[in-house]
Amino acid sequence: MRFATKIFLAVLLPALGLTLGISAALYTFLATSTRAQYLAHYQSVTKQVAATLSQLEATTDVLMAATVRVLADRVKMEGLPEDGALKKLRTELGITHLYILNKDGFFIRATSEDPSLLPNAYTYCSLYRDMFAQGAVFHPTGLMPGIPGLIPFKFLFLPSDDRQYLMEVGVRADFIGQTLTQTLSADPDLISLALYAPNGANLGEFFSDGHYSYERSLSPSASFGTKTLLSSGKLQLTERVAASNKDCCSCRQRGLVDGGDFHYYLRTIVSTRALDGAIRRLSFITILLAGIGLLLSLVASLWLSRRLVARIELINEQAQVIMRTGDLSRRLNLHDADEVGRLSAQIDEMLSALQVKQRELIQHEKTIGAIEATRRVVHDIRSPLAAFDTLLKVSTDIPEEQRVLLRTAVARVREIANALLEQTQPATASTEAMSTAVLPTTEAVLALVEASVMEKQQQYRGQTGVAIQFPCSERAFPLFVRVHAQLFLRALSNLLDNAVEALEQTGQVSIIVEESDGQVKIEVSDTGRGIPAELLPALMEKGQTFGKPGGSGLGLFAAREAITAWGGTLSITSQVGRGTTVTVMLPIAPPPAWFIAEIRVPADATVVIVDDDASIHEVWRTRFSAIAHAANSFKLIHFSTAEELRAFCTSRPTGAAPTIILMDYELRDSSSNGLDGIRALGLAASSILVTSHADEPAVRERCVALGVRLLSKSAAPLVPIRLG
């Protein structure tokens, strides 16, 4: 059983779950608490303003009662005053208006306008005539829109002692504007305060920028039932304000209230910018803490798991030693009961078979039977290689990175077998086979160079003074050439080996891939000892070598012959003591049908990533997060199994937003591959196969047949992603 993966998952998954759970719970608690405190504060402010308005209205009622009593006494003692005397009395009492009506309800004196222009007072309330006749007590009216102005007024009637006249006082409710304006000036987050009658009539609406309105009333259907409403950027609160006179006859007559007690509604609108800022800071802190927790979890999990993959590294190191030295007598001897032990046993069996067949080849290399013996070696090795490939596919506990390394080791063992076959042929025939016998195919330059560089980095990592650098560039991503992949890799491998051997234990080898004058240019440079200028012209001739004791002089010759056959050129420049640069120029080939030059994400699209390798999910998460600031309309979903994708597709409603599927080819715990799943779900038109098997002809051919675009996993950090 793959214990390294178990340890990795056993530490990582619970830690991730715990970190995310605690972060989410903490954020939810603090955000809810912050919102509740914010709401409670402004609810308190609204209640205080409502209480103040109620108190001021009651005080106004007292003022009105005292004023109308003074007017009644003046009329009793001095008789009916003229309009001028009445206005003077109004000024002395500091009241807005005074009125005197006869017993029939007609105005005979008024400080506001010509009394004859005012309607009969009994039209204000059908009960006023009976109340006057019966000597009933008149109560102050509620706050009503002004007549003829718009500022709210309050009125109070008082019959004269002889029941011949009806005194009336009117007070303009300036206290509404003063109270609401002072409240707004005291809090910069308050946007507006407004007072309404029960039917929505505007009794005063004031804003923080200083303007106000008595005209914009709410529609009769407007509901004051919702006391709080949090909308985008604003908080709206509604508070019922008690009226001093709950049974206002004239208020009912004017339709300000349909039934029940007369009252008012105070509506407060508050900006939530302070609340939003606090929530944003809280989100940032939570994300930061969660990120630190996730990073620590990942580091701890990787550290534990890497300590447990030493045997796989040993397998790879031994394979590299065998590749360099050709010593097939080496054995791994890691025959434990788990997957790694079984893989090690298979490799040892292959090495044993190779060693046996190598002896047979040595014994027959000068005879006609050497070719047949070599063919038997290749045939015999295919079975264990196939078994090894099968184990790689069915072993679900091997991480993707280690799987690629093991697959590379198998490929190199297969190359050793092929090399044994070539050793039995004349050099001329081998060169001709390399340059002309194999038809070229369209290949991605970046993938070929990256594969060769990774192999050499593993091969020479034991030489601490040697650095092999290949800066991947987006400009190299869309470049294709017509070559034979294995022959190209062999030629590039020879160039890299020559560069490393020229370093004299320390130095740097760098590889650059770019477009130049309509061609692909590949430069392999080293900081080694250099080659004298007089030796350069003949260096690529057959049998010529420099600085390599025992060298055959066939590496550069074969590489030049192959590159020339593909329509390219190979040139060398060098300076003694400074290093050498080998330049390969090849014609640019049109991209194949399966190639995707960019990933275009439509508006409101859903991007689904299906892969069982967490590192690939992290690559895509990083790529898409880089464009999240430009538009947040697309959605990113991560799945690790085909079953999750199937459930997602089944639940998608008809006519949903476009979906882009980034699908792995080889999914663990699945009997079928990614292309099988794409075909079964009918997702070919919207799918991109992202796999490390992108160089396999069978995978490419099936992608073309299904209409699925193909992308190598190594190109995931480079493929352009566009919005729209």
- More confidently predicted of 596 and 354: 596
Q: What percent of the chain has pLDDT over 90?
A: 35
Question: pLDDT tens digits, residue range 357-393?
Answer: 877 777 766 556 556 666 666 666 766 766 666 666 6
Can you give the pLDDT at residue 227?
A: 67
Can you give the pLDDT at residue 11?
A: 76
Q: Taking 60 as the threshold, does the pLDDT of residue 429 lie above it?
A: no
Can you give the pLDDT at residue 593?
A: 92
Can you give the pLDDT at residue 390?
A: 64
Architecture of domain 599-723: 3-Layer(aba) Sandwich (3.40)
Tokens coding 215: 């005209």
Contact 208, 199 (CB under 8 A): no
**Class of 39-172 in CATH:** alpha beta
Residue 265 has phi, psi (to 5 degrees) of -125, 130
Can you give the pLDDT at residue 148?
A: 45
Q: Taking 60 as the threshold, does the pLDDT of residue 551 lie above it?
A: no
Can you give the pLDDT at residue 524?
A: 95
Tokens coding 658: 């476009």
- More confidently predicted of 345 and 1: 345
Can you give the pLDDT at residue 553?
A: 63
Q: Taking 80 as the threshold, does the pLDDT of residue 243 lie above it?
A: yes
Can you give the pLDDT at residue 225?
A: 63
Can you give the pLDDT at residue 269?
A: 92
Can you give the pLDDT at residue 632?
A: 60
Q: How far lies 259's CA from each of 96, 107, 130, 201, 693, in Å?
A: 30, 30, 21, 15, 79
Most confident range (mean pLDDT) of 317-331, 381-395, 546-560 is 317-331
Q: Indicate the domain borders of the chain.
A: 39-172, 174-276, 309-425, 443-591, 599-723
Average pLDDT, the chain: 83
Tokens coding 331: 């054995």
Can you give the pLDDT at residue 386?
A: 64
In this predicted structure, which of 238-247, 440-449, 581-590, 666-675 has the lowest mean pLDDT? 666-675
How deeply is 630 buried, as exposed, middle or buried, from its count of CB atoms within 10 A (0-12, 13-18, 19+)?
exposed
- More confidently predicted of 689 and 336: 689
In this predicted structure, which of 103-107, 553-557, 602-606, 664-668 has the lowest mean pLDDT? 553-557
Pick the CATH number of 309-425 from 1.10.10, 2.60.40, 1.20.1440, 3.40.50: 1.20.1440
16 Cβ neighbours under 8 A, 6+ residues apart: 294, 297
Question: pLDDT tens digits, residue range 305-317?
Answer: 776 666 677 777 7
pLDDT range class, residue 200, cuts 50, 70, 90: confident
Cα gap 659→682, rounded to integer Å:
12
Q: Taking 90 as the threshold, does the pLDDT of residue 55 lie above it?
A: yes
In this predicted structure, which of 115-129, 169-183, 377-391, 681-695 has the lowest mean pLDDT? 377-391
Question: pLDDT tens digits, residue range 253-309?
Answer: 777 776 678 888 999 999 989 888 998 999 999 999 988 988 888 888 788 677 666
Cα gap 343→314, rounded to integer Å:
12
In this predicted structure, which of 47-56, 351-360, 566-575, 679-688 has the lowest mean pLDDT? 351-360
pLDDT range class, residue 428, cuts 50, 70, 90: very low
Q: What is the mean pLDDT of residues 129-152?
A: 80
CATH fold, domain 443-591, is Heat Shock Protein 90 (3.30.565)
Q: What is the mean pLDDT of residues 463-482?
A: 88
Cα gap 321→315, rounded to integer Å:
10
Can you give the pLDDT at residue 281?
A: 93
- More confidently predicted of 563 and 371: 563
User: Sign of the CA dihedral 561, 698, 473, 470?
Assistant: negative
- More confidently predicted of 639 and 550: 639
Q: What is the mean pLDDT of residues 655-681?
A: 86
Contact 90, 178 (CB under 8 A): no
How far the first Cα of the chain sits from its last, in Å, is: 46
Cα gap 40→27, rounded to integer Å:
20
Contact 483, 436 (CB under 8 A): no
166 Cβ neighbours under 8 A, 6+ residues apart: 100, 101, 102, 103, 105, 121, 132, 157, 158, 159, 160
